[in-house]
A = this chain, B = another copy of it.
Amino acid sequence: MTSLKHHPLDQLLAFYRLMVTIREFELRAAGERKAGLVPGFLHACVGQEATAVGACAALNAEDVITSTHRGHGHLIAKGGDPRFMMAELAGKTSGYCGGKGGSLHLADFDLGVLGANGIVAGGIPMAVGAGLAFQMRREPRVALAFFGDGAVNEGAFHEAANLAGLWKLPVIFFCENNLYGEGTPQHKQAPIRDLSLRAAGYGFPGVIVDGNDVVAVYEITLDAVERARKGDGPTFIEAKTYRQRGHYEGDPMIYRTEEEMAYWRARDPILGFRKRLEEEMEVEPAALDAVDAEVKALLDEAVQFAIHSPAPRPEAALEGVYADDHGGRVF
């Protein structure tokens, strides 16, 4: 386990706050889905907050990420505003995508979030393209692609990894191996347990990290970012983690055992980190409680913001398809 002492307390507290924000966002979103504010699919990343936060903490504001169907955490970690996120989930005009994208397509180009994605592995080539642009323009930026253990078996991952390895692009392949793709366990999706093994076939390093240890994730991503900025090319980071909730909200979860879930809940990335903050960094529980309370207030506000934001006019459905729609003649 990495030591917390090497890191400024401020930063550690920021990690904590972000992880709690993500957790709280997911729980609130799930609740609001039941309550009817959120109409669409939700894929919560509860249990995986450390990967999002650790990885994005290693990036600069100018760096970009591509995300997945389970992307709320990535966006929050990259600076996303829970208000605009919740409003998007509610399909409101004030949402990140004006209500047209929903959870699966959250994007904020200003924050360098090129988009969540409804297609497993669909966003990975995009990250490679961003990395290519950065390399061509001699910009010291990197692109980080988040994806799951299931995505590693899609052709798009493979082609993208090969291209990035070949051209030594500043791209980080960040795999959140949470042991399942929907209801199918990872071991029934690939014949290997350590997916980072595949990196060797693309000519770049593959490393494994405890995905529930936010500092470890941060440190290992920093290394990869440095490599990428130096022009040494991609790194495949495999973060071993676990999704604590269903694949989607409403998932009956018939495919896994209570023991397994309990095992992983005992390794919860937030509770564990909180404990370490208290023990290793001697943070007062009250200080952390205060953070929790602030986050709750933030999320209260986000929900209120979403509720009170206007719904789009139905005709807005016809806008935003093209930069130039030739006066509507393109429809």
Contacts and interface: CB of A to CB of B under 8 A. Distances in A.
A234 B60 CA distance: 44
Nearest to A155: B155
A198 interface: yes
Given A158-B155, A166-B188, A191-B166, A200 B200 contact: yes
A200 B159 CA distance: 17
Interface string A181-212: 00000001111100001101111100000000
A202 B197 CA distance: 9
A202 B198 CA distance: 8
A34 to B, nearest CB: 37
A304 interface: no
A131 to B, nearest CB: 14
A159 B166 contact: no
Interface string A162-186: 1001101000000000000000000
- Number of copies of this chain that the complex holds: 2
A162 B192 CA distance: 9
Contact of A154 (B159, B165, B188): B159
Contacts of A162: 153, 190-191
A133 interface: no
A115 B316 CA distance: 50
- Which 8 residue pairs of A and B lie closest in terms of their CB atoms, listed nearest first? A155-B155, A191-B203, A158-B158, A198-B201, A165-B191, A166-B191, A153-B162, A192-B203
A191 B201 CA distance: 8
Listed residue (A154, A158, A203) with the most chain B CB atoms within 10 angstroms of its CB: A158
Contacts of A155: 154-156, 158-159
